[in-house]
Amino acid sequence: QQQVRQSPQSLTVWEGETAILNCSYEDSTFNYFPWYQQFPGEGPALLISISSVSDKKEDGRFTIFFNKREKKLSLHITDSQPGDSATYFCAASGQGTGSKLSFGKGAKLTVSP
């Protein structure tokens, strides 16, 4: 059973627009939600994360909105740049070391100039 789901699988936006990537999860014990950015041939790089005690986390152009009741979260990338073109993974786990991190299947973002 897929613990973490992402939508859409792929998204194309114009440079300067806001890209919105969605994620939902099954396990109500999850309380740590990182987003990773992965370029071809590279490992996933931690972009931004949120814990379940917050409903919003912002870091520059990247913002996570979190809805615990609906078990949903989204990553908003404002003023999208061609360099943001990558695959984005939503992940979830319990908090703290030793917790198993479950990944979504990824969303491929293309930002057209």
Residues forming the site for another protein (CB under 8 A) = 32, 34, 36, 38, 41-46, 49, 87, 89, 91, 93, 95-103, 105-106
Q: Which sign, positive or negative, has the C-alpha torsion 61, 80, 84, 100?
A: positive
Name the minimum Å distance from CB 87 to another protein.
6
Identify which of residues 17 and 38 has a Cβ nearer to another protein in the complex. 38
Identify which of residues 49 and 78 has a Cβ nearer to another protein in the complex. 49
Rounded CA separation 70/22 (Å): 12
Q: Which amino acid is at 70?
A: E
9: left (phi over 0), alpha (psi -120 to 50) or beta: alpha
Name the minimum Å distance from CB 101 to another protein.
6
Residue holding tokens 């979260």? 73
Identify which of residues 12 and 51 has a Cβ nearer to another protein in the complex. 51
